[in-house]
Amino acid sequence: MRIANLEFENNVFLAPLAGVTDIAFRGICKRMGCGLVYTEMVSAKALYYNNDNTKSMLQFSEEEVPAAVQIFGSEPEVMARACDYFNDDPNICLVDINMGCPAPKIVKNGEGSALMKNTKLAAEIVRTVKRASVKPVTVKFRKGFDDNNINAIEFAKALEDAGVDAITIHGRTRQQMYEGKADWDIIRRVKEAIKIPVIGNGDVFTPEDAIRIVEETNCDGIMIGRGALGNPWIFRQIQQKLSGAPISYPMPKEVIDVCIEHFKRAVSYHGEHRAVREMRKHIAWYIKGLKNCTKIKNMINYEQQASKIINILEEYKEELTKI
């Protein structure tokens, strides 16, 4: 798959997920066969004001690069200034603009999916960022803001005219958040309406889903979000399905081993206190469906020390191996 001057090993990408797709997780997904990983969404205004916490989100590991950075905001010139941080960074291959985040605090500020209600401003953001960026510029957005404002096709055309290099469309409205079923037909209709690459997003949880979304929409790429939570193997499995090879599913021992590896990576990058807090949700996703997972999750949620959590997981692995 190509986006502007970039060519990727495959067309299955990791979605930018706030609080999830950090440096610790992205490297694992890349190793599992992900074609391109995206950072969590980064505030362009925070970069503009030189916020240290925001800049810390732009750290990359060797195994994941080159990666995509996703920014959000609503002021064209401020968005463009963010490119100063990316233009000379060889770890970053493209800049993605978030126009689909449904979070109330983002929408309240006129950012994320709120931009779907202001096509003129959205196009101006693209034009301004394109002038400032030496990297390709893409946009991720939704079907529309709500059921009364389904404007993905018109929105995509306006962004294409503004010079965007590719778009990702999530087949839900902002009103739906992540509920209900993703509308893949709107992805097909957008793909038919524009000439630039279209990446389909929404409800891809299995290799079979990946095949179907391509067949039903003719999208150029696939973006996996919630389907990768606790399941980075999905990238490898989709490649196996596409190539006709047998699909390999991880045994419980491998699931726990990768979970422990992820935890150790988080500790090394973020420190023990933050890693212990943030990895609780990841561990719950990894072990979901395994025998006695609720008991293990509750034990881990009470622990504050990384070494004790690792011991719980190691003992759990031994327990699962005996089953």
Query: Is residue 34 among the annotated active site residues?
Result: no
Mean pLDDT over each residue of the chain, to the nearest integer = 96
Architecture of the domain spanning 2-243? Alpha-Beta Barrel (3.20)
**14 is written with which tokens?**
């990791």
- So what's the pLDDT on residue 321? 86
Q: What percent of the chain has pLDDT over 70?
A: 100
Alpha helix ranges (H) inside 163-251: 184-193, 207-217, 233-243
Band (106; pLDDT cuts 50, 70, 90) = very high
Whether the predicted pLDDT of 295 surpasses 90: yes
Average pLDDT score over residue span 86-94: 95
Give span(s): CATH 1.10.1200.80, the chain. Answer: 252-322
Band (206; pLDDT cuts 50, 70, 90) = very high
Whether the predicted pLDDT of 112 surpasses 70: yes
- So what's the pLDDT on residue 51? 87
Q: CA separation (Å) from 141 to 33, 49, 225, 316?
A: 25, 26, 14, 41
Band (149; pLDDT cuts 50, 70, 90) = very high
Whether the predicted pLDDT of 163 surpasses 90: yes
Give span(s): CATH 3.20.20.70, the chain. Answer: 2-243
The angle at the Cα of 59, spanning 58 to 62, to the nearest 5 degrees, equals 135
- So what's the pLDDT on residue 56? 86
Query: What CATH homologous superfamily does 252-322 map to?
Result: Putative flavin oxidoreducatase; domain 2 (1.10.1200.80)
How far is Cα 126 from Cα 212, in angstroms, rounded to an integer?
Answer: 31
Whether the predicted pLDDT of 20 surpasses 80: yes
The residue from 29, 83, 101, 259 that is catalytic is 101
Q: Give tens-digit pLDDT for 126-141.
A: 999 999 999 999 999 9
Band (323; pLDDT cuts 50, 70, 90) = low
